[in-house]
Amino acid sequence: MTISPDHPPGRRRRRRAAVAVAATLAVAGAALPGSPALAVNASHTTVVGTNPVDWTPHALDGTVHRILQVGNRVYVAGTFTKVRNAGQSAQLAMPRLVALDATTGRIDTTFRPQVNGAVKALAAAPDGRSLYIGGAFTTVNGTAASRLARIDAATGARVAGFTTPTLNNQVNDVRLVGNRLIVGGAFQTVGGVTRRALAAVNATTGAADASVNLNLAGPRKTTSGATAPVKVEALDVSADGTRLVFAGNFSTVAGVARHQLAVANLSGAGATLSGWATDRYQPQCARSMPSYLRGVDISPDGTWFAVVTTGAAFPGTLCDAAARFEFGTATGGKQPTWANYTGGDTLLSVAVTGAAVYVGGHQRWLDNPQGRNSAGPGAVSRPGIGAIPRPRVRRCPGTRPRTAGWAPASCTPPTGVCGSAATR
């Protein structure tokens, strides 16, 4: 559920970010709920409406990376520095993290955390009154915070008693499981101890939790020599907290071959590698991209998940495509239940609600397996965002023609909340 700045040459970019809330009914609830948001998207019985409301605010620069809805509040994180309420000209200097009312779209000017770098990950804390944030920052409210912090959901103030060890590179994604906060990113060490790309901290104190130690290794390298350090780009945890799916730049997990995508079993004792495996992400896509998985999301019932990729169009691969995989029995050789191709355009984010798989990115089409930077036979125009329901592609909220990348980031009944790098 992320918008990333990377794309192969020729992909279009936009400089201004926006947030859209597509609702069939108004969302009701207290400003600060007594319980955190769901770990997975809520199950919808239908695809959300196609006409977004008109009162959503705008981020005037940078990119929206993450959106989290908690009760009647929506938190928007990214690299932006200025925002503006809909219908107003006044610019508000509220960098990288803002809160808004899910019913009216109004920006909450009392929520003002000061974060000195990109915010890429959000999770609701179990008390329902605070948030975990992750990213590339090193301070929060002027105090050292090494890429992970816990803040008050009403004011943005630091929560006392939560201090994490130093992570030596950015955090890309987080999930709360019991009293563990599972963290994925580009870091190689946590508190000076090797924990490449995947780790956990105590959700109450922030102390390192050694129970998640899966030894990700084997950074990929393309035929042109392009490579990058081991990292986790995206992860998700099933609603029952027993399965972890993660995607990124790695070739082995716990000493066993796993190409860019792996499943782990979670228990009170920690994390262990599952026997579930696929080799469909072993092939290379674009020569400039050692890894090309960009998003993963587990279904509300926990029986399957969806993955989206970048990488350009290469026949016989899952490059520039969304794919569904069943968990089923924990064996190797897994094949996707279906794959939906863009015809050469990047997909960056995915949200599964049961009724549909929402995908966002720089795509112009879906249902386009024969397209090569063009609309092939049967291609369906879905610029920026689309829904893949059963059994066909349908337009999704905010899909008035545009070429920017959209990120469906929160799906709570009866809404879908989306963020973008769009100009309109």
User: pLDDT by residue (tens digit) across 370-387?
Assistant: 999 999 999 999 999 999
Going by C-beta distance under 8 Å and a sequence separation of 6 or more, which residues neighbour residue 223?
284, 287
**Average of per-residue pLDDT across 15-29:** 34
Q: Which residue has the higher pLDDT, 171 or 39?
A: 171
* Rg of the chain (C-alpha set): 20
- pLDDT for the residue numbered 53: 82
Section 223-252 average pLDDT: 97
Structure token pair of residue 389: 């329901």
Task: State mean pLDDT over 279-304.
Answer: 96
Residues sharing a CB contact under 8 Å with residue 196, sequence separation 6 or more, in sequence order:
187, 188, 215, 216, 217, 229, 230, 250
Residue 412, amino acid: T
- pLDDT at position 194 is 97
Look up the pTM and report it: 0.87
Identify the band that residue 416 occupies on the pLDDT scale cut at 50, 70 and 90.
low
Q: How many CB atoms lie within 10 A of CB 392?
A: 10
Strands (E) across 118-170 are located at: 119-124, 130-135, 139-140, 143-144, 148-152
Q: What is the mean pLDDT of the chain?
A: 86
Euclidean distance between CA atoms 212 and 371, whole angstroms: 42
Q: Is the pLDDT of residue 131 over 90?
A: yes
| pLDDT of amino acid 9 | 37
Percent of the chain with pLDDT over 70: 82
Tell whether the model's pLDDT for residue 308 goes beyond 50: yes
pLDDT band at 269 (very low <50, low <70, confident <90, very high): confident
Q: How far apart are CA 132 and CA 76, in angstroms?
A: 13
Identify the pLDDT of residue 44: 76
Task: Give yes or no for a contact between 160 and 150, defined as CB atoms under 8 angstroms apart.
Answer: no
Contact 236, 268 (CB under 8 A): no
Question: What secondary structure letter does DSSP report for 170?
Answer: -
Better-predicted residue by pLDDT, 424 or 319: 319
**Res 408: pLDDT:** 46
Express as a percent the part of the chain with pLDDT over 90.
76
What confidence score (pLDDT) does residue 54 get?
85
pLDDT surpasses 80 at 341: yes
Indicate the DSSP class of residue 5.
Answer: S
At 390 the pLDDT is 64
Query: By three-state DSSP, how is residue 35 classified?
Result: coil
pLDDT interval class at 177 (50, 70, 90): very high
Please determine, for residue 415, whether its predicted confidence score (pLDDT) is greater than 80.
Answer: no
CA distances from 290 to 185, 245, 259, 283, 372 (A): 16, 20, 11, 10, 21
pLDDT for position 43: 75
Residues contacting residue 391 through CB under 8 Å, at least 6 positions apart: none
Would the pLDDT of 413 be above 60?
no
Residue 391: the pLDDT is 52
In one-letter notation, the amino acid at residue 154 is A
